[in-house]
Amino acid sequence: MIKQKTSGQIIIISGTTCAGKGTVVQELIKRNDNLKLSISYTSREKRDGEIKGKDYYFVTSDEFEKKIENNDFLEYAKVQYGKYYGTPKKEVNDLLKQGYDVILEIDVQGAQQIKEMFPETILIFIMAPSMSEVKRRIKARGKESNQQIIERFKVAYNELNEIPKYNYVVVNDEVEKAVQKIEAILLSEKCRVDRIEEISVENQEEIIHEFLMDKDFDNTPFVLEEN
């Protein structure tokens, strides 16, 4: 009876530094065939182990700015160290039209830009269990100076203030539990009334409805004739 909208939805996943967003997203993609990850463009250099077209589309600053001029991004930002990051418009729209739900792993600034364009966007914020755990995870990577760690903390605290703008918040104490929570969120979103495109009634159901609504009907047993 119920026909849901065939177009996909945008799911934004943001979070503080070292909240484990990437790990959670990759597990979600692995377990759910209808989920696709939007690959962002960036002008920063490719790091060891990263793959072009899988982690990011790596371009020069000039190439990125040309794409800005061509209106190729749903959202973009110039972040720390003057590097660009942006969400490609065509790729996301194509996936949505095909019925896929698209995950955007972006920051709080980009999330609000997308929400304005797509009001039905689902916003999920992922947090580490505590800021002390964030500190432990940063130090465990051993790749940043004390000053860089301090800067990351400043950004993280500012991002925490943006949580009220999100629909859901998930604490990532264990990846499996975090993934299960997000899967439950996405399942419940599919059941929302505003996801219904139309409600149709089969012929036999119409016959029953007309019989029950007949003002002259008595206690005669109703028998539905078989075709």
Whole-angstrom distance, CA of residue 75 vs CA of residue 3: 31
CATH of domain 2-38+101-210: 3.40.50.300
* pLDDT, tens only, 95-143: 999 999 999 999 888 999 999 999 999 999 999 888 888 878 777 877 7
| Residue extents of the structural domains in the chain | 2-38+101-210
Mean pLDDT of 160-164: 91
- Please tell me the pTM assigned to this model: 0.80
Whole-angstrom distance, CA of residue 192 vs CA of residue 91: 26
CA 23 to mean position of chain CA atoms = 14
Mean pLDDT of 24-30: 96
